[in-house]
Amino acid sequence: MASAGGKIYIVEHLDEELGPWSELEYIAIAQESHDAGAKFCLSSLAAAFKVPGALRAVPSFTPEPRSVEEIYADNKARVCLLDPAAARDLSPEDGDTFDVFLFGGILGDDPPRDRTSELRKKGFEGRRLGPVQMTTDTAVRVTRMVVEGKSLSLPAITSTIPVAEVPYLDFPEIRFNEHECTEMPFRYVKGDDGKPIMPKGMVELIGKDADKAIDDLF
- Residues found near ligand SAM in the complex (CB under 6 A): 82-84, 103-104, 106, 108-109, 112-116, 128-130, 132-136, 139
Write phi, then psi, for 89 (nearest 5 degrees): -75, 150
CA distance 94 to 63: 26
Give the list of residues 6+ apart from residue 185 with CB closer than 8 angstroms, or none. 108, 110, 133, 171
Element (H, E) at 94: helix 94-97
Least distance (Å) between residue 218 CB and ligand SAM: 31
Q: Which is nearer to ligand SAM, 63 or 130 (CB)?
A: 130
Q: Which is nearer to ligand SAM, 55 or 129 (CB)?
A: 129
Residue nearest to ligand SAM (CB): 104
Least distance (Å) between residue 162 CB and ligand SAM: 14
Q: Which is nearer to ligand SAM, 66 or 128 (CB)?
A: 128
Least distance (Å) between residue 177 CB and ligand SAM: 27
Least distance (Å) between residue 178 CB and ligand SAM: 30
Q: Which is nearer to ligand SAM, 113 or 195 (CB)?
A: 113
Write phi, then psi, for 17 (nearest 5 degrees): -115, 180
Write phi, then psi, for 83 (nearest 5 degrees): -135, 115
Q: Which is nearer to ligand SAM, 82 or 179 (CB)?
A: 82
Q: Which long-range contacts (CB under 8 A, 24 or more apart) does 51-56 make?
A: 52/18, 52/23, 52/26, 52/27, 54/27, 55/23, 55/26, 55/27, 55/30
Coil/strand/helix, residue 52:
coil
Q: 207: closest CA among 179, 170, 171?
A: 179
Least distance (Å) between residue 47 CB and ligand SAM: 24
